[in-house]
């Protein structure tokens, strides 16, 4: 039979003694936790900075979209105004052209009337 340590129960393995860790192990564990905490802090700061940058970029893109819409609306209004002005100028030109043709036609009619009158007088010997 196996010999048992005094104070141990039969059928149980002898209890292990807790080994004391050297004092340096706790210091080492604490030192390892410090870089991990520092790294987490750096990562947290980096992620927060990225979120801020994303928000700023999003706000900038929205502002640029609003500005683009504003300028597009101004351009559209300007084009509409220029189109109205063009139509008015074209209408005025057409009216002036029509008046010029009417004057030219009246002049041609007067000239024809004078020529007809002269020819009639010549034919009848009134001259």
Query: What are the per-10-residue average pLDDT scores of the chain (127 residues)?
Result: 53 59 62 81 95 98 98 98 98 98 97 95 83
Tokens of 103: 């004057």
Q: From residue 110, how far is each of 103, 117, 125, 127 by CA, in Å? A: 10, 10, 22, 20
Residues shown for the chain: 127
Reported pTM? 0.49
- Spatial separation of the C-alpha atoms in residues 17 and 20, rounded to whole Å: 9
The predicted pLDDT at position 1 comes to 47
The predicted pLDDT at position 10 comes to 59
- Spatial separation of the C-alpha atoms in residues 109 and 103, rounded to whole Å: 10
Residues 6+ apart with CB under 8 A from 126: 120
Q: Is 71:78 a contact under the CB 8 Å cutoff?
A: no
Neighbours of 89 (CB within 10 A): 10
Write the DSSP symbol of residue 8: P
The predicted pLDDT at position 86 comes to 98
């Amino acid at each position: 039979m196996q010999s048992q340590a005094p104070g141990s129960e039969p059928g149980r393995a002898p209890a292990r003694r807790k080994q004391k860790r050297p004092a340096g192990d706790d210091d080492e564990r604490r030192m390892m936790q410090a870089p991990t905490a520092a790294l987490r802090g750096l990562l947290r700061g980096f992620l927060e900075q990225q979120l801020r940058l994303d928000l700023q970029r999003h706000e900038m893109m929205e502002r640029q979209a609003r500005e683009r819409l504003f300028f597009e609306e101004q351009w559209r209004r300007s084009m509409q105004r220029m189109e109205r002005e063009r139509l008015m100028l074209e209408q005025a030109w057409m009216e002036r052209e029509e008046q010029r043709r009417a004057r030219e036609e009246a002049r041609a009619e007067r000239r024809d009337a004078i020529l007809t009158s002269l020819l009639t007088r010549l034919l009848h010997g009134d001259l």
